[in-house]
Amino acid sequence: MDCAKCDAKCCNYSKFIVRLTDEEVESGKFDDAIAWQRYIPLPCVYLKNNKCSIYEHRPTVCREYTCKGDTRLLTNAGDIWCYDSEE
């Protein structure tokens, strides 16, 4: 997946929940209010100009996510919104 060619639909779309692990909450890398909630509300507060401003420290769920085949990102035409370099 080449996220650099995407317009951050997964970071803007309210059907996603970005839950933080216990380790992430305790890491001090997230704002106190977000750590207290234990999740990042969407649209993501760390998204700046459609780029992740905490990319090196992004949550595990963000690191592991791939939009390939995710039907939550279907357009009205039935196409996946994200760019998939494997297709």
- Cβ atoms of residues 1 and 86 within 8 Å: yes
pLDDT band at 2 (very low <50, low <70, confident <90, very high): low
Domain boundaries, the chain: 3-73
Lookup: tokens for 11:
């970071």
Give, in degrees to the nearest 5, the angle at Cα 57 between 8 and 70.
35
pLDDT tens-place string over residues 11-34: 887 777 899 999 999 999 999 999
pLDDT tens-place string over residues 44-53: 999 998 889 9
